[in-house]
Homo-oligomer: A and B are copies of this chain.
């Protein structure tokens, strides 16, 4: 599981991490039942704090993507079903946005608006 973290970005580390794992689950790089690296281990590998990793894990658990318990670790639960369609739609939208020179942040806030 290769996930890259960039401390210089404005998006929080725990969000970046959650986003990376989430994407991995959706496109199949992580499969249901698979176990993630133990928090302390991953934290060491990424050179960040354990709590930051755990915070990312907990977000994903609340989304139903992970199942975690002490002693067992964090396991991909993948309640998300067939997100493939969604992933496709997202891809198309992003392409469209790029084509029209709409910046990432602009697109993001348009979506935030649409969610209201």
Question: Footprint of B on A, CB under 8 Å?
Answer: 11, 15, 18-20, 22-23, 26, 63, 80-81, 83, 85-87, 89-94, 96-98, 100, 102-115
Contact = CB atoms under 8 A, between A and B. Distances in A.
A57 to B, nearest CB: 14
A63 B108 CA distance: 14
B90 A111 contact: yes
Given A100-B81, A100-B83, A20 B113 contact: yes
21 contacts: A15-B105, A19-B113, A22-B106, A22-B109, A22-B110, A23-B110, A63-B103, A63-B106, A80-B102, A81-B100, A86-B96, A86-B100, A86-B102, A87-B110, A87-B114, A90-B111, A91-B114, A93-B111, A98-B115, A104-B111, A104-B115
